[in-house]
Amino acid sequence: MTAVQQETGRVADVVAQAGRRRTFAVISHPDAGKSTLTEALALHAAAIEQAGAVHGKAGRRGVASDWMEMERDRGISITSSVLRFEFGDTLLNLLDTPGHADFSEDTYRVLAAVDAAIMLLDSAKGLEAQTLKLFDVCRHRGIPVITFVNKWDRPGREPLELLDEVEQRIGLHPAPLNWPVGVAGDFRGLIDRASGAYTRYRRTPGGATRAIEETLPAERAAAEEGDAWHTAQEELALIAEIGADLDPEAYRAGICTPVLFGAALPNFGVRDLLEAVRALAPAPMPRTGADGRERPVDGPFSGQVFKVQAGMDRAHRDRLAFIRVCSGRFERGMTVVHEPTGRPLVTKYAQTVFGRDRSTLDVAYPGDVIGLPNAAGLTVGDTVYVKTPIAYPPIPSFAPEHFMVARVRDNGRAKQFRRGIDQLGAEGAVQVLRSDVRGDQAPVLAAVGPLQFEVVQHRMEEEFGAPVELTRLDYTTARVTDQASLDALAGRRGVEVLTRALDGTLLAVFSDKWRLRSIEREHPGITLTPLLAAGIAD
């Protein structure tokens, strides 16, 4: 085989493999049922045999995507996780995300690595604050959104009211793909709008296995469901009259959102959602580098680190860098270039991840997520590549609003303390800030929300054996500054300049925004730049 034939075969292989991949995230407000839905999707794709149920219930299993002990104890998702499984001829990379606002920075990083999102709504609450924030990020990044109205087996709002809220509050044209028979709390089944088929559901004990589905002809459904069937038909006629039909191009352009109804806990309507993801979510597309040039999907291998996580495996206590493959074919053992340093990096121990479980990964294609254990020097936002150089735009940091000084309780554990703090900073669990005045033994930890500090305390004790004391600092606002601005900031009450350990950025922190504005008025030329999160200013 000639070199030309080999290259043609490689390109065809990459294009075909990328075309069968869908990489997506589930986003929602806390308690909308996101982790339960994640588990239900894996269940319906036959990736697991039993679904985990609601957190914190005695005798129930935790969900596969919530692998951290603190997540299982608290019943919330604290860190994102990756679930990779096949559904028919499609390979799905599902990135589960934390719903709690205190961990939204982790969610934003995940959204830099996906091609689509499922926006999960609670049928009783509709659009909530955190959902709106996350949708804004999807809009900014051009990520198309499928909407799943969850918990239809519990009392909630009218379906037409929910559709109207989506259109009025976020400007997306809702296009229902199915429609519920029975009001929220009296869920009978779902009508598929395209075919008119009616599916009735019956839950299994505890919702641990797939729901039993029964397809009924319209005549029998009308006879058995009575008024609920006729109400659903009237609502469907109204939807058809106003033209709420799906336009796939409008969906991909971020103008329209397909809407599905269901209930994740008893596994109602989950298969329909999987089918929608397979049919509608875009396959990996060319990505644009920081220089504005596109890297084609079938170009040489490249990828971007979107997450670094330690403590996933107690047996190894290693550090795993998650890399989204952006172009080309990855082969385990290949040597890649770490773009920020130009140094070679060997990928001998590449892995694929399902929650906390891992297995060796030999080959990966665009859309896949590679886990590289103990890859020295890899941090969030870094690009790796072969052959033709490329650097993808960095993943911005959030503006922290909470600040604590960390000190080790036992000075004999100082080495473990430094290692643990450095590790958590490299992961982005918190931002680690230092100064000559405070020294290495008293770094400042900066966070978006206070729960991040609880995670730090838990992990420092459990993973690194170095319990810490945290002391609150009265700062609420941070700005990026520079050396030229230090004189104007030095010695001012309610102001401190610290260096971010991860990248050397100078951050000026202020007791409040009034102090910040006062200094800006006094020194018009001073550099005090807001931090950006996914292109959205703080």
417-452 confidence digits (pLDDT tens): 999 999 888 888 889 999 988 988 999 999 988 888
pLDDT of the chain, 538 residues: tens digit per residue: 687 777 788 889 999 999 999 999 998 887 888 888 988 888 887 765 554 433 333 333 444 444 455 555 554 444 556 888 899 999 999 987 765 566 667 777 888 899 999 999 999 999 988 788 888 888 888 999 999 999 999 999 999 999 999 999 999 999 999 999 999 999 999 999 999 999 999 988 766 788 899 999 999 999 999 999 999 999 999 999 999 999 999 999 999 999 999 999 999 999 999 999 999 999 999 999 999 999 999 999 999 999 887 765 555 567 789 999 999 999 999 999 999 999 999 999 998 877 667 788 999 999 999 999 877 788 889 999 999 999 999 887 778 889 999 999 999 999 999 999 998 888 888 899 999 889 889 999 999 888 889 889 998 998 889 999 999 999 999 999 999 999 999 989 999 999 999 889 999 999 999 999 999 999 999 999 988 643 344 4
| Binding annotation | 96-100
CATH assignment of the domain containing 131: 3.40.50.300
| 413 and 276 part of one domain | no
| 417 and 510 part of one domain | yes
How far apart CA 108 and CA 110 sit, in angstroms, is 5
Distance of CA 309 to the CA centre of its chain: 14
- According to the model, what pLDDT value does residue 292 have? 94
3-state secondary structure (DSSP) of residue 398: coil
pLDDT in tens, 14-32: 999 999 999 999 988 878 8
Range of the domain at 356: 287-385
Instruction: Tell me how many domains the chain contains.
Output: 3
Residue 354 lies in a domain: yes
DSSP β-bridge partners for residue 331:
363
| 58 and 158 part of one domain | yes
Among 356, 385, 414, residue at a domain's last position: 385
Residue 147 vs residues 172, 196, 242, 476, 517: alpha-carbon distances, Å:
10, 20, 19, 35, 41
| 264 and 166 part of one domain | yes
| 54 and 171 part of one domain | yes
Among 335, 358, 385, residue at a domain's last position: 385
DSSP β-bridge partners for residue 480:
507, 529
- According to the model, what pLDDT value does residue 210 have? 85
The vertex-45 CA angle with 136 and 179, nearest 5°, equals: 60
DSSP state of 259: E
- According to the model, what pLDDT value does residue 57 have? 35
Residue 35 lies in a domain: yes
Residue 243 lies in a domain: yes
CATH assignment of the domain containing 341: 2.40.30.10
- Tokens 């900066």 found at: 446
Among 280, 310, 329, residue at a domain's last position: 280
Q: Do residues 448 and 104 lie in contact, with contact meaning Cβ atoms separated by under 8 Å?
A: yes
Residue 410 lies in a domain: yes
- According to the model, what pLDDT value does residue 205 have? 79
341 CB burial (10 A radius; 0-12, 13-18, 19+): exposed
Residue 440 lies in a domain: yes
| 160 and 256 part of one domain | yes
Residue 184 lies in a domain: yes
Percentage helix, strand, coil for the chain under 3-state DSSP, each rounded to 5? 30, 30, 40
| 314 and 364 part of one domain | yes
pLDDT in tens, 40-88: 888 887 765 554 433 333 333 444 444 455 555 554 444 556 888 899 9
- According to the model, what pLDDT value does residue 473 have? 96
Helix (H) or strand (E) holding 307: strand 302-310
CATH assignment of the domain containing 482: 3.30.70.3280
- According to the model, what pLDDT value does residue 376 have? 72
- According to the model, what pLDDT value does residue 429 have? 84
| Binding annotation for GTP | 96-100
